[in-house]
Amino acid sequence: MRLIHAVPLAVLLGACATPEPKPVPGDPLASASSPEPERIKSQPLKHLVGRTLKPIPDRALEVRAKCGFRNLSGGRGMLDLQVTKAEVKRFSAEVNIPKQGLCRFDMKNFQQTALLPNVVLTDVASGCVVRMWEQEKSVTVAFNACQSMCGGDAFSYLWPIVVDTRNGRCS
């Protein structure tokens, strides 16, 4: 007898749990009854408030450097770079990361695939991409997907090389 009462009760409760129908676009009654969602306003980051940031200029990259560097963790490297009117004339880099391995990059393995806004060198065989861009008084040389140019686990520890355009020193 109780089973007979439980089935209609379950059906009745299931009918109550159906979702409300979605409003039909263009229906004036549906739009009047539902309020517009609040728009989220972008807030400036607290450390950027009051600062005037200049955009990076879109001009042809000019840099010449033949330098060696050493970082705080004991890694050291050398860079030979010449870029004239955004065209790479010379590029070779070697970065030795202690207990991890050595990374070597040479212009003969790359072809230039972009000039502006960033200079881009690509090794088609390995997929390694080297990007160079200027920001204020320095040029950054960054590496992406270049595991094949490095021995051991060195690529996991490889940072970009930064060149000071005023004196040609790198770090």
- pLDDT tens column, 39-73: 887 777 777 788 887 776 678 899 999 999 998 88
Following CA atoms 161, 163, 164, 167 in sequence, which dihedral angle do they give, to the nearest 10 degrees? 130
77 neighbors 161 (Cβ within 8 angstroms): yes
Q: Is the pTM of this model over 0.85?
A: no
153 neighbors 100 (Cβ within 8 angstroms): yes
Of the pLDDT bands very low, low, confident and very high (cuts 50, 70, 90), residue 7 is low
In the block, residue with structure tokens 């007898």? 1
**pLDDT higher than threshold 90 for residue 143:** yes
What one-character-per-residue DSSP string does 114-160 give?
A: E-SSSEEEE-TTT--EEEEEEETTEEEEEEES-GGGBSTTGGGGPPP
The backbone torsions φ and ψ at residue 27, rounded to the nearest 5 degrees and listed phi first, read: -80, 115
